[in-house]
Copies of this chain bind each other. A is one copy, B any other.
Amino acid sequence: MKNANIPRKELVADRQTLMRTFIRPENIAASTTLVKYMEQILFGLHDFLNTHVGITEEVSLKELSERYKDTIICENPEKKLADVITDLVEEIAPHAVNVASPYFIGHMTSAIPFFMVHLKTIVAALNQNVVKLETSKVLSVIEKQVLAKIHRIIYKQNEDFYIEHVQNTHTSLGCFTENGTLANLTALWVARNSTLGPKEGFEGIDKEGIYAAYKAYGIERSVILVSELGHFSLKKAGGVLGIGNRNIISIGLDRACRIDIKSLKEKIDEIQKSPTRTKIIAIVGIAGTTETGTVDPLRQIGEICAENGIHFHVDAAWGGPVLLSEKYKRLLAGIELADSVTIDGHKQFYMPMSSGMVYFKDPCRMDAIIYHANYVNRLGSVDLGIKSLSGSREANSLILYSALKIMGSRGYALLIEHGIETAKSFAEEINNRSGFELVTPPELNILTYRICPAEIKRELSTSPDAQRKILNERLNEINITVQRLQREAGKSFVSRTTLKTYKGRCESIVVLRCVIMNPLTDINILRDILDEQEELYRQNF
């Protein structure tokens, strides 16, 4: 028996073959076929991963687009499952991006331990929906446990606290989301609703809307403050939540790319004295900025928020798991002051794409976003969909639950430490090469630098602003070109971004950005990448 579900010769959709695809086969031959497919998936893809690195341009995007232009859905099956899988492995995977390569250090998407694929398969096979207990049962209970475990490493409340809340159906320590963007949105939604909550004669912003809320509170504007390096999801949240994205106010940076505390205090002062009566809904601290990996002075921001009665949100989408490293968790000191914290699962928890989480210090804070419906979930039940931006959700918490058992906190710590320490060595290497300039040294495991030939470096250090601008433009051009050529060559990949301030100056600086999270990325690989960049510069400039 070669194929379990569709007749060999002619492909016709018929009921019987269709029904069979819903029953896991009882006979050994058919079972073997199904397992064979899995083998093909696990190791067929593996071959791709071994032979293709980076984002090659063997087939241009334009050519690729031409292949996927047909928009008619065929009436009958086009292909048998086996052929579809073969196509996926042979035709599609080679044109995906090998994010698992240790030479792919441009983005926060990386290799994941292979067992993560197994865990995701289990989640898919169980096909539970944690929106309600009736379609998830133990998986909802497990989600609550995992949330409490991570809450505990952030907030370090005592055992009694966790015994009370871990399985409490009336309180919530947080929520799994699909990504950091939705986690940030959830946190700021909660912050908005708490700041402009119900009071005498007003039933709360979520019920009555922003216009009524501003009237009730006698304000004309509400704002959220975050450093210039805030993730763009925060601006998006400002738009979605009706605050207006221009009211997500950027605060300048200190020389270490952290929020400048003096500027922050001045801005708060300015807002409080403003003739436009304005409410500050939240201040966001970043634990691992997307561009530079830097961590804001969380304790100081937390204290400022406490003094002023402002919701303190920490976007630790990137840096959160650093808390698992005894050696480096001090880098996130002060995070326990946060009212809410975002952490991504698919980043430094190495879960498969995509998973985010949001945590709240106060187990009742999520009451500000309760929604329920008779047919789906009931108040006071374990139905997780009551306090969640999303409706139907897969049971992704099972993956983290299992991964924590398989890895231990120490396993995660080893990955984190490897990243931070390798990034440090990489920074030294960059500093040792005369043709490069380290722009933002790594605080966690992200750094930026640029190609900067020694002669230009010398000129930059002595030139007036106008001349610096011309030199920087020249450097920007060089870095844009080399980054592109390296990507197209397909052996390795670093990303690029543009920083707006550098060493306290307002300058538009194109930098190469590296994220060191793959444990197989070592200093030798990083040297290869620099060598290649030097070579590309020599050949092209």
Contact = CB atoms under 8 A, between A and B. Distances in A.
A288 interface: no
Interface stretch (A249-257, A387-395, A422-430): A387-395
A541 interface: no
Interface stretch (A43-51, A265-273, A529-537): A43-51
A111 interface: yes
Which of A85, A178, A209 has most B Cβ within 10 Å? A209
Interface in A81-139: 81, 84-85, 88, 92-93, 95-97, 99-100, 106-107, 109, 111-118, 120-129, 132-139
A409 interface: yes
Given A15-B414, A18-B411, A75-B409, 4 more contacts: A13-B411, A22-B519, A24-B42, A97-B136
Which of A152, A167, A189 has most B Cβ within 10 Å? A167
B211 A55 contact: no
Interface string A4-37: 0110000111110011011110000001001101
Contacts of A520: 19, 22-23
A137 B55 contact: yes
Interface residues of A, number: 180
Contacts of A65: 141, 167
B122 A120 contact: no
7 contacts: A21-B114, A23-B114, A65-B167, A68-B141, A71-B145, A178-B393, A354-B392
A218 interface: no
A468 interface: no
Nearest to A147: B71
Contacts of A375: 290-291, 495, 497, 513
A208 interface: yes
Given A22-B113, A240-B389, A138 B64 contact: yes
Contacts of A236: 371, 389
How many identical chains are in the complex? 2
B61 A137 contact: yes
Nearest to A417: B15
A118 to B, nearest CB: 5
Nearest to A291: B375
Contacts of A454: none
Contacts of A462: none
Interface string A52-83: 00010000010011111111111111111100
Interface string A347-359: 0000011101000
A31 B43 contact: yes
Nearest to A369: B239
